Chains A and B, each alone.
Chain A
Amino acid sequence: MSTQTKAEYLLLFRGTDWHKGLSPEEIQEVVKQMYAWLDRLTAEGKAKAGKPLFPEGKVVSQKKGRVVADGPFAESKEAIGGFFLLEVGSLDEAAEIAKDFPGLNYGATVEVRPVAPACPLALGLEEGAEERARASA
């Protein structure tokens, strides 16, 4: 069996107010759990990067010319509070890791997305070529 190839997966932490009702003691407990979780993933070589995001920002769109508005407008439940880049063997493995995200116990959700080597639109065009390449490998 060949060694499993690793791919990148992005964990998007959704929900920016799940921690609002927590007491200081509980907040400290979640910080501790987050640390343990991230430390373990880093030690296992699965974590590549991660950053929190400010809730405020700008949304750029093209309606009647280029518009820059304050946003994002997603509801706080939906808004992305931070992201984390994993390098693991499969989407399932990434999802397993996401299951341990301590914020889940408090109402946050995690979205797990495979990182594509290129924009999926472009990939569609190249698909045929890729399949031929795999067949010859």
Chain B
Amino acid sequence: MVEHFFRHEAGKIVSTLTRIFGIEHLNRAEDVVQETLVRALQTWPYYGIPKNPSAWITQVAKNLALDLIRRDKVFRIKENEIVHLMEQVSADSHAGVAEPGENGIADDRLRMMFTCCHPLIAREMQVALALKTLCGFSPAEIARAFLTSEAAIAKRLTRAKQKIREARIEFEIPAGAELTRRLDGVLQSLYLLFNEGYKASGGEHLIRAELCHEAIRLTSLLTGHPTGNHPRSHALLALMLLNGARLPARLDRDGNILRLEEQNRSQWDQPMIARGLFHLMQSTGGDEASEYHLQAAIAACHCAARDYLSTDWPRILSLYDRLIEMDDSPVIALNRAVAIANVHGPRAGIEAVEAMHNREQLDCYYLLYAVLGEFEADLAHRGTATKHFRKALELATMKSEQIFLSKKLQELEDPRSRGTDV
């Protein structure tokens, strides 16, 4: 069985059943899918995995759904119509063969994506809802990934579903001028989903990596569909792939953070980089350069460098210069300062940080002090560097971050290491 097969089948069938039942019965669609998977668990081990597991699951879900429609009073008025729609669900779409049914399934998942990411739903609810419906995550799994309680996630999901009902959000792919606006919302949510997995700020490492992979999968669904096949979607997918390809090298065996210069580049996922570069090319189809384009291009520069020393920093800096014009985020400004330091030296890096007009937003961000500490250490300002790293250590919440910073401090205190006292 393919990895995450049940999870992804769940996403497909929930989407299709939701179209047929109506979005207001999303919970019922989820229940049918849950029951279907339990049936698989109850029979497959005894009788063997069916030759076409996907078709088996579709057929069982269809039968259970038909039972439900006939039994449940809420479907009474529309029963015939729903049964008719139900009967059109193709149970014989063989894996790898594009049958007419496959397009329908893709449409349904896009509908679900646009519904989950509707602008009337708060962003963090959008992401939780997409993970639940499209990616088959349980509230417990979402909670583990977001480092929060299961109850908090359950509440988020309930509120999101409530909002869908109250605002009468349609289960549809928007068209015309509306599409562009709504597509942007979907892309932003997928970007957030990816970043949640990518930033190593907490949670279980494994499940966080899965967030990145789910974000990549959903974005691939978008780029592979006429509705989402847009340069910006390709740029977003490229940036996810090019950054995601480096995930396996970001931690050492003990789970400690490795900086870009310390990473073993042979562990970077080359097929993923190739896919990323392909989508980066696809993303140049239009005449726009979105933030996603620039971030993807920056990631591509890192992926293209054979080793740390051959990194094309001037090019990265020019990309950050353009990025900061579009997005005045202090985090981007901080990253730009790192690029500046690599091109013009640590002194210029410090000046760039000092010139940040929104620096106070990062007052509690450990990386601000870690970056300043690096710059000062490069200038052999041992005392100032120590001060910054101590502050960073105070703010760091992850064990791996703390270990990394303690190591830095030890190096600075070791009289045999480089630099002089200030």
A residues touching B (Cβ–Cβ < 8 Å)?
A: 19-28, 30-32, 34-35, 38, 50-52, 81-82
Select which of B33, B34, B45, B140 is within 8 A of A34 by beta carbon.
B45
10 additional contacts (CB under 8 A) given A24-B37, A27-B38, A82-B42 = A23-B141, A24-B9, A25-B137, A25-B141, A27-B6, A28-B1, A28-B6, A35-B44, A35-B49, A81-B42
A27 / chain B contacts, CB cutoff of 8 Å: 6, 37-38, 40-41
Segment 37-63 of B: residues with Cβ below 8 Å from A: 37-38, 40-46, 49
Q: Are A30 and B136 in contact (CB under 8 A)?
A: no
Q: Are A38 and B38 in contact (CB under 8 A)?
A: no
Q: Are A35 and B6 in contact (CB under 8 A)?
A: no
A-B contact pairs, 26 of them (CB 8 A): A19-B38, A19-B41, A20-B34, A20-B38, A21-B138, A23-B7, A23-B140, A24-B6, A24-B7, A24-B10, A25-B6, A25-B7, A25-B141, A26-B138, A27-B40, A28-B1, A28-B4, A28-B7, A30-B41, A31-B45, A32-B1, A35-B49, A38-B46, A51-B46, A52-B43, A82-B46
Q: How large is the interface on B (under 10, 10 to 19, 20 to 34, 35 or more residues)?
A: 20 to 34
Q: Are B4 and A25 in contact (CB under 8 A)?
A: yes
A38 / chain B contacts, CB cutoff of 8 Å: 45-46
Closest chain-A Cβ to B397's Cβ sits at a distance in Å of 27
A24 / chain B contacts, CB cutoff of 8 Å: 6-7, 9-10, 33, 37, 136, 138
Segment 1-28 of B: residues with Cβ below 8 Å from A: 1, 4-7, 9-10
Closest chain-B Cβ to A81's Cβ sits at a distance in Å of 7
B residues touching A (Cβ–Cβ < 8 Å)?
A: 1, 4-7, 9-10, 33-34, 37-38, 40-46, 49, 136-138, 140-141
Q: Are A31 and B40 in contact (CB under 8 A)?
A: yes
Closest chain-A Cβ to B59's Cβ sits at a distance in Å of 17
CA distance A134 to B34 in the complex (A): 55
B1 / chain A contacts, CB cutoff of 8 Å: 28, 31-32
CA distance A35 to B41 in the complex (A): 10
B41 / chain A contacts, CB cutoff of 8 Å: 19, 27, 30-31, 34
B45 / chain A contacts, CB cutoff of 8 Å: 31, 34-35, 38
A26 / chain B contacts, CB cutoff of 8 Å: 138
A50 / chain B contacts, CB cutoff of 8 Å: 46
Select which of A23, A34, A82 is within 8 A of B137 by beta carbon.
A23
Q: Are B42 and A23 in contact (CB under 8 A)?
A: no
Closest chain-B Cβ to A41's Cβ sits at a distance in Å of 11
**Chain B residue with Cβ nearest A29:** B6
CA distance A50 to B1 in the complex (A): 22
Among A19, A22, A31, A82, max chain B CB count under 10 A is at A31
Closest chain-A Cβ to B9's Cβ sits at a distance in Å of 7
B137 / chain A contacts, CB cutoff of 8 Å: 23, 25
Closest chain-B Cβ to A10's Cβ sits at a distance in Å of 15
CA distance A51 to B45 in the complex (A): 9
